[in-house]
Chains A and B, each alone.
Chain A
Amino acid sequence: MKKEFILPKTLEELWEARAVHPRGALLAGGTDLLVRIRAGRADSQALISLDRIPDLRGISTGDGEIFIGPATTHQQLLDDYSVQKHLPLLRQSVEVLGSPQVRHMGTLGGNICTASPAGDTLPALYVLGARLDLRSPQGCRTVPIKEFIEGPGKTVLRKDEILSGIRVPMPDPGFRAGYHKVGQRKAMAIAVVSMACQVWINDHGTVGRIRLGWGSVGPTVKTLPEVEKFLEGRPLSLEVLREAGQMVSKGVTPIDDVRAGAAYRRLVAGRILLRLLDLLRKEVF
């Protein structure tokens, strides 16, 4: 039952490897896949590494968007200037993902394809309106992340496709960003509730535009357009945020698990909006 290991250096070699091993698994950082294999929750006949394909790595800017190769590690995102400058929300979400070692190994593509309800980069990528390139030997299609993830561990990726790029539109300037994660401890924690927020405040102190996304309170990232609408045009005051928080608590659909109960997640998903009061004092990008 020996597994094969393939280390393709180009996309062509990758397609070839996949043709030879149709039941092989793509291995990016391995921080998810190898844990699942060890636990008997995943199996594969071969490991096909994405580590050495230059086309799948790196970050570039152009056409009003930032293009991120899926095999870019979390640490590389943290070290990248354009991410620091334009995507502080993504950066914040990666800063609190796993541990230093996990960030050195794990990749953005891996986090997306794992499609965990608790995946830390996902609320940020939803809020940022990321689009994903899905490539096969036959060609490439681009889908919004919202449509890519169907449920826990479920994506629209076809058998012959890979995630080949993450396209994040450059946000209009003048925003503030915050990723707020609640875990069972202060580091190396899986989110029990998380919220990503990007907000543009008007000159008169009311919300111009706001985008919010919650993790760990439903099968996929939860967005609540009615809450965003409610906040737009209003100041981020305690009363307003409390009221919005109640809408959030009603809108999310968490479950109980070993980490926390649904009632707690529901409550915190709403209360965590109060963190936006801090955001007003934060840097404007």
Chain B
Amino acid sequence: MKIHFRLNGSDIAIETDPCRRVVDILREDLGLTGTKESCGSGECGACTILVDGESRLSCLMVAGQISGRKITTIEGLVSQGEMHPVQKAFVDHGAVQCGFCTPGMVLAAVDLLRRNPHPGRQEIRRGLSGNICRCTGYQKIVDAVEAASRDTGDKE
């Protein structure tokens, strides 16, 4: 089946089994390996992508469901070589260790800041509670999101 959708700002059409998982399409068919898989069952958030701006789990979505939707993966956050402010904040504030949770975590944070441009630390923690990180203890991730909200929130 042919599926049309918008991926990181470009319209694309792919011929695929519509019941194929979105995470597999991104990683295996489109080479976008920035989207990670760690549990395959919704429990870790590593596979988070944005669907029409909203964070969703690409391990629990099939191709047919994204037909006509706007998909943003971690690769799509970088525009013209410039990292998204949340990405920059993750680098600057030491929010990245092994980095395997990072793409999902960053996208969850982007969605969080869209809904709530100035979250408190506890709100940040709640907003990221669908993303497991085994390395950082979360604190520097919270620091990074807090900083990103300071840097970007005012412009909105």
B62 CB within 8 Å of chain A: yes
Give the shortest distance, in Å, between B112 (CB) and chain A (any CB).
7
Q: Which B residues are CB-close (under 8 A) to A101?
A: 42, 45, 48, 55-57, 108, 130
If A31-B42, A187-B129, A188-B43 touch, whether A100 touches B55 (CB-CB below 8 Å) is yes
Give the shortest distance, in Å, between B5 (CB) and chain A (any CB).
12
Q: Which A residues are CB-close (under 8 A) to B18?
A: 4-5
A266 and B38 CA atoms in complex are apart in Å by 35
A100 and B54 CA atoms in complex are apart in Å by 10
B78 CB within 8 Å of chain A: no
If A30-B60, A30-B65, A100-B130 touch, whether A35 touches B111 (CB-CB below 8 Å) is no
A104 and B127 CA atoms in complex are apart in Å by 12
A101 and B130 CA atoms in complex are apart in Å by 7
If A101-B42, A105-B60, A187-B129 touch, whether A7 touches B67 (CB-CB below 8 Å) is yes
Interface residues of A in 47-99 (CB under 8 A from B): 47, 49, 51, 75, 98-99
By the criterion CB–CB under 8 Å, are A100 and B1 in contact? Answer: no
Give the shortest distance, in Å, between B98 (CB) and chain A (any CB).
20
B119-156 vs A: 1/0 string, CB under 8 Å?
Answer: 00000001111110000000000000000000000000
B91 CB within 8 Å of chain A: no
A188 and B131 CA atoms in complex are apart in Å by 9
A7 and B68 CA atoms in complex are apart in Å by 11
By the criterion CB–CB under 8 Å, are B64 and A104 in contact? Answer: no
Give the shortest distance, in Å, between B21 (CB) and chain A (any CB).
8
Q: Which A residues are CB-close (under 8 A) to B130?
A: 98-102, 187-188
Task: State which of A2, A105, A186 has its C-beta within 8 Å of the C-beta of B56.
Answer: A105
A38 CB within 8 Å of chain B: yes
B40 CB within 8 Å of chain A: yes
**Chain B residues touching A, range:** 20 to 34
If A5-B19, A31-B42 touch, whether A104 touches B62 (CB-CB below 8 Å) is no
A60 and B130 CA atoms in complex are apart in Å by 30
A284 and B42 CA atoms in complex are apart in Å by 36
**Chain A residues touching B, range:** 20 to 34
A3 and B20 CA atoms in complex are apart in Å by 9
By the criterion CB–CB under 8 Å, are B60 and A100 in contact? Answer: no
A27 and B63 CA atoms in complex are apart in Å by 13
A7 and B3 CA atoms in complex are apart in Å by 12
By the criterion CB–CB under 8 Å, are B64 and A31 in contact? Answer: no
Listed from nearest, the 10 A-B pairs whose CB atoms lie closest are: A99-B130, A187-B129, A5-B18, A5-B64, A3-B19, A101-B130, A34-B60, A104-B54, A101-B57, A100-B130
Q: Which residues of A contact B (CB under 8 A)?
A: 2-7, 27, 30-31, 34-35, 38-39, 47, 49, 51, 75, 98-102, 104-105, 186-188
Q: Which residues of B contact A (CB under 8 A)?
A: 1, 17-19, 40-43, 45, 48, 54-57, 60-65, 67, 108, 111-112, 126-131
